[in-house]
Structure 1
Amino acid sequence: MELRQLRYFVAVFNQKSISRAAEQLLISQPALTRQIRLLEHECGTPLFERLPKGTFPTPAGVALHKHALTMLAMAGSARDVARQAGPVRQPVALGLAPGLPGEWVDRLLTAVADQAPLAELELTDGDTTVQLRMVREGRLDIGLVHQEPSQDLVGGHVRKEFFGLALRPGLPANEEEEHCRLSDFHDQRVLIHSREQFPLGHDRLLATSHELGVTPAWRIATFNEHARACADATSSVAVMLTEASANRLLPDWQWKQLKEPTMALETWMVRQPVTRDIVKKVADIILRTFR
């Protein structure tokens, strides 16, 4: 149970309306509804009755309201104590997708620290599907994902890096050639990410392979940190990933950018349309720094 959920609960209790409470809290109505349902699930009992005339507390909701006011009052007094020591820092939950280079993330953190010193970033690792769900549920303020956001979210493009193949040591290769082609790996085992990790790129790769008449012996796995183990388990001669990931996960494997077809890993910043000012500020900093 989180203090944020209790604040949401008290707002609905006072407003007797999900929609009015959402306007007061500056979050979307579906996100508020999901948080109330999560709180009810955690409590193990309904806290509100949804009636045509409004949203009214159950006996359990009335009992929780008194407890919630006490806890929020205590949290408020804790903030007062903190304010005496200096400006209040505001938490901003930021999601990081797998594959983002460490130096790029460091630049992002430095930019936010310099331009929004009152933002306290809370970082979460998560793939695109998980992050988009968390943003819509109100559990993540900003996501950095590998999929262009749909119209219900605000977003912007922040990064593009090309895919290539990391070649197993000992594999015959032209050292002078900076690129490689899919046709070079016809009938050979090539490890690629699962569709859940990179849906658009996964589908495009298989479709393009079919169009070119090239049929590598694809090996598919869900991996972020254990590329080497997955490659060994599948006896793959090459692994498809970005240069930054190859340098980190397979430093002794030679990486060549894939050509014919050329494929890129795109990264977008996403957030809810209605959110806190500090979240908007951090999101704008990310876009200004990397767009």
Structure 2
Amino acid sequence: MEIRQLIYFSVTFRNGSVTRAAEELMISQPALTRQIRQFERDIGTPLFDRVPTGVTPTAAGTALYRHALAILDLVDNAAEVAALAAPVMEPVEMGLAPGLPASWVSKLLAAVTQQVGLARINFTDADSTTQLRMLREGRLDIALIHQPPPAGLISRSIGREPFGVAVRPGETLTSGDVWAMKHLGGLRVLVHARNQLPIGHDRLVAAAHELGITPQWQFASYTEHAAACADAVSADVAIMTQASATRLLPDWAWFRLVEPSVMLETWSVRQSTTRPIVASVDEAVRTAFAAV
């Protein structure tokens, strides 16, 4: 027995006419007649008596009609029942600070999918200051930021990346694969503004001061248009991580900054009181970054 046969039978029963039933079903009358006869053969008993005005149900047809309606009602509700039984995905709002390596984000998503299958991650790109404000306002559940979190929040350092020097194409300012801080003296150096990377900004300026060098710092706030910012101020070099340089300045050579090294640190931050799934996602994030 097929659902299609029950539908054909029920519509014919309700109309009392194969012709009217065929019109409602939008199939030909001969085709519906064949389907009804095949159904009667499958059932093993006549379901209709043919009369001049159409068809009238037999006792077997009347009994079957009640069951057919119940079966078709169950079929109609099957999708709703399945949807109600399916697990409900919970949204988790997460901030991403500029410059996070794509490989880190991929590992994060893989860890959350594996460990917290009911979480649906919604990302927001924002600098650290903006993320902390959104976290306080309840618009973010987890912030991934580049500055030490304030007291009262659950936080943990989850990774560090070295700053380096991206050199404008055509410049030959160093050799090897590292760049000593002292060689920044006198150069026009593009650096993220303090509101974007306060700790990295302060450490760079302090290190230059301790070395007694005077780079021509060119501070700018940017997330995507590093090349435009560098061109606007005629910067010779730009200070950023390798991941950022690869993405934003792909034609510029990158050298790790040393003597001293300056690191860009990332923290995961959330409120101390939060939904269980947020705490689970936060733990999965930390697990993912532990291997970085």
TM-score above 0.5, yes or no: yes
Is the alpha carbon distance of 1:211 and 1:118 closer, same or farther for their aligned partners in structure 2, counting shifts above 3 Å?
A: same
Deviations 1:230-266 (A, max 9, x none): 1111000100000011011111111001112210110
> TM-score under structure 1 normalisation?
0.70
- CA–CA separation in structure 1 for the residues paired with 2:180 and 2:86: 57
Deviations 1:56-101 (A, max 9, x none): xxxxxxxxxxxxxxxxxxxxxxxx9885151001111011110001
Alignment-derived partner of residue 241 in structure 1: 240
Deviations 1:78-125 (A, max 9, x none): xx9885151001111011110001121011011101111100111111
Letter in 2 for 1:261: P
Gaps of 5+ in 2: 1-79
Alignment of 1:199 with 2:194, yes or no, is no
Tell me if structure 2 keeps the 8 A contact 1:163–1:240: yes
Letter in 1 for 2:286: L
Specify the SS of the correspondent of 1:84.
helix
User: RMSD in angstroms over aligned alpha carbons?
Assistant: 1.5
Deviation at 1:185, TM superposition (A): 2.4
Alignment of 1:98 with 2:86, yes or no, is no
Letter in 1 for 2:133: R
Alignment-derived partner of residue 18 in structure 2: none
- CA–CA separation in structure 1 for the residues paired with 2:188 and 2:267: 31
Alignment-derived partner of residue 230 in structure 1: 229
Deviation at 1:267, TM superposition (A): 0.4
Alignment-derived partner of residue 119 in structure 1: 119
> In the comparison of the two structures, how many residue pairs are matched?
211
Alignment-derived partner of residue 267 in structure 2: 268
Alignment-derived partner of residue 163 in structure 1: 163
Alignment-derived partner of residue 288 in structure 1: 287
- CA–CA separation in structure 1 for the residues paired with 2:270 and 2:110: 20
Deviation at 1:172, TM superposition (A): 1.4
Tell me if structure 2 keeps the 8 A contact 1:82–1:88: no
Alignment-derived partner of residue 210 in structure 2: 211
1:168-187 equivalences under 5 Å are: 168-175=168-175, 177-187=176-186
Q: Decide which structure has the larger Cα Rg and report it.
A: 2
Deviations 1:151-200 (A, max 9, x none): 2100111111000010011111344x111012212111010000100112
Gaps of 5+ in 1: 1-79
